[in-house]
Every structure is written in C-alpha cells, then in structure tokens.
Amino acid sequence: MINLQRRFAIIGHRAPSTGNIFLNDLSGLSGRIDVLARAINSTLFLSHGIRKDSQIILHLMGGEGSSRRVLFDGSTLAGVRPDERSIAGHIRSLVKLRLPPIGTWIRVSAGIYHSGGDIETTLQEWSRDEVNILVLDKQGIELDEITLVDTDVGFILSDDTPFSDKENKSLIEFKRINVGEKWLQGHSCITIVHHIIDSNILD
C-alpha cells in the first residue's frame, strides 16, 4: 500500500503578491485567485475533513512587489472553510503583510505560512528534502507509468496560463506527466492525482 506525502506547487502568474485582493472579483481584478483557491480546495479538503498528508504552495507572481509564496499545510491547517471566498480571504489578509526574506517561512496562522521566493526557491527546497518532483503537463507521459517510491512526491502545475520560458528552463530536468488526454483545469488534475495514489494504482 502506498502512503505518500503529497506536495503541490502552483504558479499564479497574475495573482498579486502585495496590495489588495477583491473578494467580489477573484477571476478578474484579483489575478485569477479563484484558480489558486480551487487548487487549495482540491489539495486539502475532503467531504468531512482535511488531508493531513498534503500541502500546497502558491506562487504569487503578479502585482508590483516581489514574488511571494504561500504554504497551506494540511497536517496543521485549521480555521479555513473549503469555499473560494473564504480561502481567498486568508490570502487577502496575508498579502497585506510585510514580505519575508526568500527561503524564510513565517507562520501566519494554523497551517498557513508565507515566504519570499519563486518556483526556483521551492524546487531547491524540495530537492534538499529529497522530494520526487514531477511536472503536470499534457505533453508528459501518463502518471500511472511512473514508479513512485514511498517518500514525498511533489507536483508542479501552472494556473490558467502555460509555464513561461524561464519556468520551463527551471523545470527542464524533471519528468513531465499527464493525467489524461485533455487539457484539464489545475484543480481537476490535483483531484485525479489524489485518486490515482489513493487507489493504489501505483505500486
């Protein structure tokens, strides 16, 4: 039976790292925070509980300030409801805070942390932790063709826009996998990843 610790990292290309998030316009003025909120929901929330074996890092790359990372850790998360507006409200409060240094995680509330840095910073941290890093990409091989060992596994995905040339350069050394023949929304891909691992298809 596979018992994997699952990490996800999603890049929000237009999501503001500082300033304001408009809860009545998550998909427009807020830089597609709705996409990130749905990714958090799919990563962490069950019908009646939270996945203790999963976490997700948001990479807020938009706005005028330096990039910010936000970590939601299911093992300690509390006080967050599984709806987009509630999740976005936590992010809204967080982006008003002073940006921590790159690589320094500061606790904001139970299971929520933030740090400076971008996807390269996250890749460096995951590599130090010996995480098996995979990139979710329709052009990759099927996930069930990958042999996963019983260790942390990390999945990288983008928001509603493709990876940039710079990001693709950072990701070039990692295997690319797909979870179907169609281009799916990120939160759907996360759900399928959970299903495949939960069903012990990979053994």
- CA angle 154–57–38, rounded 5-degree value: 100
For residues 82 and 47, what is the distance between their CA atoms, to the nearest angstrom?
9
**pLDDT value of position 1:** 41
Place of tokens 């929330």: 45
- What does residue 44 show for φ and ψ, rounded to 5 degrees? -115, -30
Name the strand (E) or helix (H) holding 94.
Answer: helix 84-94
**pLDDT value of position 3:** 59
**pLDDT value of position 155:** 96
**pLDDT value of position 29:** 81
Here the tokens at position 26 are: 């998550």
CA distances from 11 to 1, 29, 49, 113 (A): 31, 17, 26, 16
**Residue 104: Cβ within 10 Å count:** 11
Give pLDDT tens digits for 167-203: 999 999 999 988 877 677 878 899 999 988 888 655 4
Give the residue extent of every domain in the chain: 6-198
Class of domain 6-198: alpha beta
Q: Are 65 and 15 in contact (CB under 8 A)?
A: no
**pLDDT value of position 60:** 97
Place of tokens 């904001």: 108
**pLDDT value of position 30:** 86
Length of the chain measured in residues: 203
Could you tell me what percentage of the chain is helix, strand and coil, using 3-state DSSP and rounding each to the nearest 5? 30, 30, 40
pTM value? 0.92
Q: Which residues of the chain have pLDDT under 70?
A: 1-3, 144-149, 182, 200-203
**pLDDT value of position 137:** 85
Q: CA nearest 157: which of 11, 4, 32, 39?
A: 11
Please count the CA atoms within 13 angstroms of the CA of 158 that sit on its side-chain side.
15
